[in-house]
Amino acid sequence: MRIGELARAAHCSVRAIRHYHEVGALPEPRRTGSGYREYTVDDILETLRIRALVQAGVPLSATGDRSPSALRDALDSLGEKIEKLTVQRDRLRQLMTTTMGVPTDIARIFVELAEHNEDIADLIRQELSMLQLMALSDVTTHESWERIRGNLQSLKSIDATLRSLRIWKLLESTSEDALITEYLQLAPLGYLADVPLAKGTMPLTIEDLAVSRSQAALLRRML
């Protein structure tokens, strides 16, 4: 049997057969007097075995190892790849069904609040951007969004959030202790009240934010 016939029998290309020889996965067969490789049924079986292992995730260089550990190593490696692919799939689904990681219904509430509160519309949109940053930094969880969703259904929570943002705006140009005290009293009542967060890492520090001295001092008191 010549190399072309082996390739047809093993459902692969002649080039693949030659590559198997080059890397040592498929032993060289004996040659005819004319120098042609002469293959047997055993070579078909060996080629099919190699192809099955490669398709199952075993590196071509490891197909010559017939020990059970080689298959276990390949299985472990495949499991790690599946875990990574699962994470990628879940992230894609999250981005497809959310607004940059924020559930659509929650994002819509912030958009509507901005439309009805023009004096602090920019700050409300910044809050939405902050939530998106938290989501994409893996700080939020399903439980986080459930709590935020519940808080946003409370008029008391929304009022506390809006008043906090108005105080925040005032702190751009003033440092009145009364305003800071009121802000600290309102913070536990806003939309982030009792929101559980994961141990992700936010890629920002206070120094990265464009805030006034009073706002920066307030953030430090809250952290």
Instruction: Supply the pLDDT for residue 125.
Output: 97
The residue that leads in pLDDT, 95 or 39, is 39
What mean pLDDT is predicted for residues 86-102? Answer: 85
Specify burial of residue 133 (Cβ count, 10 A radius: 0-12, 13-18, 19+). Answer: middle
Q: Which residues pair with 103 in a beta bridge?
A: 98
Instruction: Supply the pLDDT for residue 113.
Output: 97
What mean pLDDT is predicted for residues 120-127? Answer: 97
Q: Please name the amino acid found at residue 101.
A: G
Contact 151, 215 (CB under 8 A): no
Share of the chain above pLDDT 90, in %: 61
Confidence of residue 203 (pLDDT cuts 50, 70, 90): low
Q: How far apart are the first and last CA of the chain?
A: 76
Q: Residue 97 and residue 86: Cα distance in Å, rounded?
A: 16
The residue that leads in pLDDT, 61 or 9, is 9
Q: What's the pLDDT tens digit per position in 33-62?
A: 888 899 999 999 999 999 998 888 888 888
Instruction: Supply the pLDDT for residue 202.
Output: 67
Contact 44, 6 (CB under 8 A): yes
Range with the lowest mean pLDDT among 55-64, 88-97, 200-209?
200-209
Confidence of residue 88 (pLDDT cuts 50, 70, 90): confident
Range with the lowest mean pLDDT among 5-14, 83-92, 190-199?
83-92
Specify burial of residue 209 (Cβ count, 10 A radius: 0-12, 13-18, 19+). Answer: exposed
Q: What's the pLDDT tens digit per position in 156-201?
A: 999 999 999 999 999 999 988 999 999 999 999 999 999 999 876 6
The overall average pLDDT reported for the chain is: 90
Q: What's the pLDDT tens digit per position in 137-146?
A: 889 999 999 9
Instruction: Supply the pLDDT for residue 129.
Output: 94
